[in-house]
Structure 1
């Protein structure tokens, strides 16, 4: 998926061939905020404007702009991978949860 970023927000980018327009929405928020444009420049400007409007709305309403997450994540992996994780975690004295948490944190740190 193509995306735009602005002020810590991500906007999806799609194209409607029928309407000949780029469109998207702000991701990771509680609510639906769309934007569109006929060119990449128009789309980018519309995204920035949508973020600014959304931030003003959140401030006026006293709400947090980013979606909150519970911290609980259910993933689907193959039984083979599950078994390998369980064995590795056991050998290192970790729980499966601790192993996956550490692996994800290391992956995210390497991306920054």
Structure 2
């Protein structure tokens, strides 16, 4: 099971590494890697903030955009029955399929 943690406005995926008995955090949505380890939640927040700060400072020194690029286009392959159901749900809500799917994704992905 994966969980997420928001640290200074950036989302990190948290997993447990049984080999070392520690939690591992990895920031998502960055143009490079920034991960951190700790034994508890307080440690994750502290180490995550440090890892993020070091990453952002390195990007600033090098003139690199710290955020991953996204085109805004998603191509999904879904079963025909799901496509049909989504189209009907969109129509029932008075939205295009794109507008409806955008709202569903926003509701699911944003805190």
Instruction: Report the TM range for the smaller structure's normalisation.
Output: 0.7 to 0.9
Q: Does 1:44 align with 2:45?
A: yes
Give ranges in structure 2 of 5+ residues lacking alignment.
none
Query: For 1:18-77, what per-residue CA distance to the aligned partner results, in whole angstroms no more than 9, with x for missing partners?
Result: 211111211111211110012221111111111111111111111221111112211122
Give TM-score scaled by structure 2 length: 0.77
**Structure 1 gap ranges (5+):** 93-97
Aligned residues: 107
- The Cα shift of 1:85 comes to 5.0
Distance 2:70 2:7 in 1: 21
| Matched position secondary structure for 1:50 | helix
Task: Indicate whether 1:101 and 2:90 are aligned.
Answer: no
- Return the offset for 1:87: 7.0
Alignment-derived partner of residue 16 in structure 2: 15
Q: How far apart, in 1, do the equivalents of 2:77 and 2:44 lie?
A: 35
Secondary structure in 2 matching 1:106: helix
Distance 1:11 1:84, change over 3 A: closer
Q: What corresponds to 2:59 in structure 1?
A: 58
Q: Normalized against structure 1, the TM-score is what?
A: 0.76
- Give the 4+ runs in structure 1 shifted more than 3 A: 83-89, 104-107, 109-112
- Match of residue 36 from structure 2: 35
Q: Structure 1 residues 43 and 84, CA, compared in 2 at 3 Å: closer, same or farther?
A: closer
SS at match of 1:36: strand
